[in-house]
Structure 1
Amino acid sequence: MDNKYKLKLGISIGDTNGIGPEVIIKTLSDNRILNYCTPVIYGSAKVFSQLRKELKAEHFQFQQVDAANVLVPRKVNLIDCCAAELELNPGTPTPESGKASLDSLLAASRDLKAGLLDGLVTAPINKDNIQAEEFNFPGHTEFLTSYFDAPESLMLLVSGDLRVATVTGHMPVKEVSGKITEELLIRKLTILLDSLRKDFGILKPRVAVLGLNPHAGEKGLLGREELEVIRPTIMQMKERGHLVFGPYPADGFFGMQQYKQVDAVLAMYHDQGLIPFKTLAFESGVNYTAGLPIVRTSPDHGTAYDIATKHIASETSFREALFLACDVIRKRLAEQMPAV
């Protein structure tokens, strides 16, 4: 791989009335980003020009192009794929902002599938407002898993050496227990271990598995999932030579900072993993979708409508998402290079 090659990184804008466009502009105002990649925004030139003026972001410049096969090197490129009548209405989701977020995501995904991009960074969407005939999914993760024909994927939150994945994703809590099976746990652990090796360069990863119930079930007193499903799965993975440990009570595990002793943590459900992760790394966290044939990252926050009118959103998480995408893509490209 030529180290001088600039990765072509697609950026979907999320809901235009949230903070997505703002954190994109703030991130790409630092021209040093262009030393790492060629950013390609899929959005509205009118919206980005207007917001640039409101933010007084004089260092943010973009080159409008017609398609991803005619990108301008060492420039922020923008492909105008949104309706001409799109207007900014910060703080309020509208049908127009929902359609713009979908149009952006679909256009970027098509180019990524066609091989015109090396990876994708997605700004936050409104999961309800984006729903349409082409998007009948709980979120980005499920859509991209389907779109790129992956048999399974895994939501993995990353901040430095802190990595937290979840067995189940966007589903009601009352449905979680019925979904936790040995087969699902093995599939999720396999994706996690493979990603830690391939995407993060950890040769012999160590993974801690959390229990589902309080106190990890207290030997069956508070639930039997740990005894009947989780612990037997961990033993199977150990027999296969993997460094998998647990199940741990979630509260004590994070309270005693045991996460510092492993390379990743596998939580049973969304909030069990994301609450401690965001408490520890809210501004720097990145949402990475493991198990896909492509590389996709996202900031770990939402649309934040409540501050969308104030221009105070931090771009740290989005910037970290962009850098993580570059790092993972380069690791994958290096892995594909023949040994000398």
Structure 2
Amino acid sequence: MNKQQKVRVGISIGDLNGIGAEIVIKTFSEAMMLDFCTPVIFASAKTLSYIKKELGLQAEFYGIDAFAKALDNKINVFNLWKEPVSISWGEATGIAGDYALKSFTAATKALKDGDIDVLVTAPINKANIQKEDFAFPGHTDYLAQELTGNAMMLMVTDTLKVGLLTDHVAVKDVASNITPDVIKKKVNTLYKCLQQDFGVDRPKIALLGINPHVGDNGVIGDDDDKVLIPTLEKMRAGGQLVYGPYAADSFFGSGNYKNFDAILAAYHDQGLIPFKTLSFGKGVNYTAGLDKVRTSPDHGTAYEIAGKGEADPGSFREAVYAAINIYNKRKEYQEITKDVLKVSPKRAGRERAGRGPARK
């Protein structure tokens, strides 16, 4: 990959009192990472230098004030602030939330404007990031507003992909939020994602039941019988390979998940608990369905180990790799599929003359 082909990876720094800056610095302190991409961290070179020193890490930052100044083979830091920031390891403070929000919104704008190719977000605290002009449960919801498409949280590894019909929704509201339209929209979003972002020609998707044991024929709720089952039957009749609903309690333990390209869980914990049990530290949170690529590690701020230098950058590193791979795979898909129905001028002339394609 030459310099012109390197993917420009934007990084929002997350909660400064958590492990975000640590895993970002550890990831890009490995020279090999700069062979794959050109990182642009949205933060402050002074703040990152302070954190680096506090944690005894080795890295050199290249501060920039314009994207045109970003250099390959450098850890570029787009300086969003110049003032010193007080770091309170392991504490959820309003100050940390302010800087996390400043980093994330600036990085999102850069993504929209094409100044970066992909976005990888370090963990935030969903509580201290809330403001009057930012009332979103998390990254995904804000990106859904700012970017084009139908956003869907998709947890991914090389061998396991788990999406959600509902994500940051209270358990008591899950069933009422799952409608035929939601199911169709989520399945179609996942189907297209698997094709263009992961190179699966004809995706095979499994859905998990809403209620325990898929409702046991109405004994434990009728949501599956009335909503999920008939909707999936109609989609299968239309040619889509969507199966289920499957009882969630045995689906992963039995290994049945290995028979599918992706799984759609009814709600957050139903999908993320087995995913993180099987893949913690290696998984990536991908916001599927949007016109831009965003990934993040599969863990949170980890306040309990913040400032101790113990954070494992493995999941963040995988998030960077995933963003680059998805970006390249999507470009390849777009190249292959563009103008596939376009008729050549020579053939068009023959067809106008009445010499259309031969009948089968």
With normalisation by structure 2, the TM-score equals 0.91
Distance 1:258 1:4, change over 3 A: farther
Q: Out of 242, 248, 251, which is 2:249 matched to?
A: 251
1:8 aligns with 2:8: yes
Q: Which residue does the alignment assign to 1:72?
A: 71
Identity %: 47
Matching residue of 2:176: 178
Cα offset, 1:45, TM superposition: 1.4
Is residue 83–residue 100 contact of structure 1 (8 Å, CA) maintained in 2? Answer: no
Find the partner of 1:207 among 205, 208, 212: 205
Provide, for residues 56-95 of structure 1, a one-character-per-residue CA deviation record: whole Å limited to 9, x for no partner: 222x222111122221122110011136132211101211
Report the alpha carbon displacement of residue 2 of structure 1 after superposing the two structures with TM.
7.7
Q: Tell me the amino acid that sits aligned with residue 227 of structure 1.
A: D
Conservation of the 8 A alpha-carbon contact between 1:82 and 1:103:
no
Q: Answer yes or no: is the 8 Å Cα contact 1:207–1:264 preserved in 2.
A: yes
Change (3 A) 1:3 1:262: farther
User: Where does 1:25-174 land on structure 2 (aligned, <5 Å)?
Assistant: 25-58=25-58, 60-82=59-81, 84-150=83-149, 152-174=150-172
| 3-state DSSP of counterpart to 1:197 | helix
Aligned to 1:271, which of 249, 255, 269?
269
Ranges in structure 1 where 5+ consecutive residues have no aligned partner: none
Please report how far the alpha carbon of residue 240 of structure 1 lies from its aligned counterpart in structure 2 after TM superposition: 1.8
CA distance in 2, matches of 1:224, 1:67: 56
- Preserved contact between residue 23 and residue 318 of structure 1 (Cα < 8 Å): yes
Greater Rg over alpha carbons, structure: 2
**1:163·1:264 contact (CA, 8 Å) conserved in 2?**
yes
1:120 corresponds to which letter in structure 2? L
Q: In the alignment, which residue of structure 1 is the partner of 2:315?
A: 317
* Superposition CA RMSD, Å: 1.6
What is the aligned partner in structure 2 of residue 333 from structure 1? 331
Deviation of 1:21 after TM superposition, in Å, equals 0.3
| Matching residue's letter, 1:48 | L
Give the whole-Å Cα distance in 1 for the aligned partners of 2:108 and 2:101. Answer: 10
Instruction: State the shift of 1:337 in Å.
Output: 2.8
Supply the distance in 2 between the matched residues of 1:135 and 1:10 (Cα, whole angstroms). 21
Q: In structure 2, how many angstroms separate the alpha carbons of the residues matched to 1:237 and 1:3?
A: 45
2:241 maps to 1:237: no
Classify 1:2/1:206 alpha carbon distance in 2 versus 1 (closer, same or farther; 3 Å): farther
In the aligned structure 1, how far is the partner of 2:132 from the partner of 2:224? 39
Aligned to 1:303: 301
Match of 1:292 among 279, 290, 293: 290
Aligned-residue offset at 1:235: 1.0
Q: Give the gaps of 5 or more residues in structure 2.
A: 340-360
Conserved in 2, the CA contact under 8 Å of 1:47 and 1:87?
no
Structure 1: which amino acid aligns with 2:54?
Answer: E
Within 1, Cα distance between the matches of 2:238 and 2:48?
51
Q: CA deviation at 1:309?
A: 2.5
